Structure 1
Amino acid sequence: MMQLITPDRHGEFAGELKEMHGLRYRVFKERLDWDVQTEDEMETDAFDALGPVYLLLKGADWRIHGCVRLLPSTGPTMLRDTFPTLLDGEVVPSAPDIWESSRFALDFPPSAPKAAGGLAQATYELFAGMIEFGLASKLTGIVTVTDIRMERILRLATWPLSRIGRPKTVGNTEAVAGFLEISHASLLRVRWRGRLNGPVLWKPVLGTSA
């Protein structure tokens, strides 16, 4: 089940967002040991105050097991304002039809269902949700800053990252900036690879749930 929360509904879904920040704390602080801002076992940063769109992946238990944050590339972004060194001198992508994704996180038990490439099916669901949101919003691409591990996962999921610059060490990880294509073809590849039978984001508007 995929839930989309737009900026005008943040207050209405404050409970879900609080749970999401807790998930981000577990993934980015406890598991990956990134240098992130935390308080009361929740992870937040300045970009959460800019009115992002959030995609939340809920399990059969209604708990949040995955999330990703989306912001227009025409405003402040992590790539432009936090990690410009990853551009290798290239111009930062900035256009109405390109958004930035960040804080992609998944937290589920080892027994979670698997799909092709040994990846959890939940991974494919969140990727598909991102593409479906992009298509509904008439986007052509998503720019992101990620690590080498996630770059490999994207390749296995047949949604490969087109690098903008060379990987560089950021804290305790190898980070890389890249571009993800938003197209019906990329959605079909991810759905087929992840054994998804149909849309995961049934109503990609105003915080509604599938």
Structure 2
Amino acid sequence: MNDLTFTVKSSSSLPPQLLRRLFAFRHAVFVTRLGWVPPRGDEEVDFFDTLNPVHALCQDGDGTILAAARLLPMAGPSMLRDVFPALLGNAPCPQDAETWEISRFALRPVPGVRTGHRQVLRTLVARLFDVAQAHGVRRLVAVSDTRLERMVTDATGLPLQRFAPPQRVGVEWAVAGCVEVSSATRAQLAARAQHRGPSRVRRAAA
């Protein structure tokens, strides 16, 4: 997986054609594979996309989207509070301006490229941390299926602090948790990348 391009932009700043390809990619993951969203057309778009979220995505040299995630402040509406409150268990839902939510975190399944997946996930998470730090965010909250949770932990070394045990959603198990945003965690990501070896990535303008 060489010549990867990572893009981090708000919805309003993404080219319309790329945004539609992102929604089609999400449809393949959250509608077709996970069954988390009822089928409606060929794109997966929800209310939270109207709030001008930040999107982080990775494309290969052919422009195929390999991974993506959405980022929004939790001071307003959030998927954890409004869509998946059961994943909180008895924990209160964070709703402060210093906590942002990662949602619609998805990875394209590609057989036989486990190392490449680590590279994609590690770099994508690092980009999300960069955005968070730039906005003074102290904590990131995420909703994910447990398979992706394990892959992200393996790639980054940053375990998700779960709010509650996983719950069955669609055909997969889902979980919610948080990770602190700090210079220490960002340095841990950088060290992990250094330990795994250099990778050829290109960063699109933010």
Fold equivalence (TM over 0.5): yes
Report the secondary structure of 1:34's partner residue: coil
Would you say the 8 A contact 2:53–2:71 is kept in 1? yes
- 1:176 is displaced (CA, Å) by 1.6
Identity %: 33
Equivalent pairs counted in the alignment come to: 198
Deviations 1:79-119 (A, max 9, x none): 1101112212221111111100111112264354716xxx4
Where in structure 2 are the equivalents of 1:59-74 lying within 5 Å? 59-74=60-75
Where in structure 2 are the equivalents of 1:18-97 lying within 5 Å? 18-30=20-32, 32-97=33-98
- 1:132 is displaced (CA, Å) by 1.4
Aligned to 2:135: 137
Where in structure 2 are the equivalents of 1:48-197 lying within 5 Å? 48-107=49-108, 109-110=110-111, 112=113, 114=115, 119-156=117-154, 157-194=156-193, 195=196
User: CA separation in 2, counterparts of 1:137 and 1:158?
Assistant: 23
TM-score, length-scaled by structure 2: 0.84
Where structure 2 has 5 or more consecutive residues not aligned to the other structure, the ranges are none
User: CA separation in 1, counterparts of 2:59 and 2:148?
Assistant: 21
User: CA separation in 2, counterparts of 1:196 and 1:99?
Assistant: 30
Where structure 1 has 5 or more consecutive residues not aligned to the other structure, the ranges are 203-207
User: CA separation in 1, counterparts of 2:22 and 2:57?
Assistant: 8
Aligned to 1:205: none
- 1:24 is displaced (CA, Å) by 1.0
User: CA separation in 1, counterparts of 2:153 and 2:109?
Assistant: 21
Runs of 4+ in 1 over 3 A off after TM superposition: 37-40, 108-113, 194-198
Report the secondary structure of 1:67's partner residue: strand
Name whichever structure is richer in helix by fraction. 2
User: CA separation in 2, counterparts of 1:201 and 1:74?
Assistant: 32
TM-score, length-scaled by structure 1: 0.82
